[in-house]
A = this chain, B = another copy of it.
């Protein structure tokens, strides 16, 4: 028999949050006990994963989050945030228009890199020879998903200054037994393999390096994109805010006096019916 109240209460289900009047618990922990005892990064982990990380794990997550906040106004997301801020919308709206474009191309490389690393780690040959597994999965990737490996190479930076430093952080955590170091090794082996194939270094970039951290910490690939969104939202907010302080109304992409190049039909008359 139909029970409307039950239908209604069960339409939305969550393991994240429980509420009663005066009570808020996240994953079973009362909010007043969490406040002051766990960090923002630990909270992010708790909400996404269901259990509290220990402090060292959360510190590594914190490092990944702080390292990818911004890449300047030439990035479409940042330019969008700044343009939106001059159009008479709220900060939340400017942030949303920008965050929205962190799609497969602009925000997906971390997710794709975690997927690639995980396939390598799960390859039958991996335990015996990481090199063999890397070679096999790169072959497979290049055949199925196009010419560029996600997380390697950068069109602006010959060496992305964030990547080696992030790998240092992973190495330190591995020495301390916080993570296995397996994905850092995979990432480095990809660099070696790419250099052999291309005859020049195609070094790991920020997406490849944060993907190493997310993989080491056990995040599923899809959350690498989510975490990047949280991280990049900081730069998006900062640039929207800076633009608001600079002022401007309806700021376009280029200085106003330089119009786009029109390459359509020449001026013509609207045909009449007769």
B residues within 8 A CB of A79?
12, 79, 83, 252-253
Q: Chain B nearest CB: distance from A64 CB in Å?
A: 9
Q: A47-B69, A96-B97, A158-B22 are in contact. Are A242 and B15 (CB under 8 A)?
A: yes
Say how many copies of this protein the assembly contains. 4
Q: Chain B nearest CB: distance from A118 CB in Å?
A: 17
Of the residues B19, B70, B102, B241, contact of A87 by C-beta under 8 Å = B102
Give bound CA distance, A31 to B75, whole Å: 17
Q: Chain B nearest CB: distance from A99 CB in Å?
A: 5
Which B-chain residue is minimally distant from A35 (CB atoms)? B165
Give bound CA distance, A21 to B156, whole Å: 6
Give bound CA distance, A262 to B21, whole Å: 14
B residues within 8 A CB of A143?
none
Q: A residues touching B (Cβ–Cβ < 8 Å)?
A: 2, 4-5, 7-19, 21-44, 47-48, 50, 52, 55, 62-63, 65-67, 69-77, 79-80, 82-84, 86-108, 155-162, 164-166, 168-169, 222-223, 225-226, 229-231, 233-235, 237-242, 244, 246, 249-273
Provide a sorted-by-A list of 26 A–B residue pairs whose CB atoms are within 8 angstroms.
Answer: A12-B82, A12-B260, A13-B246, A13-B263, A15-B262, A18-B267, A33-B269, A34-B66, A36-B169, A43-B66, A48-B238, A48-B241, A55-B273, A73-B253, A74-B259, A79-B79, A79-B252, A84-B103, A86-B106, A89-B92, A90-B103, A93-B93, A95-B99, A95-B229, A96-B96, A156-B256
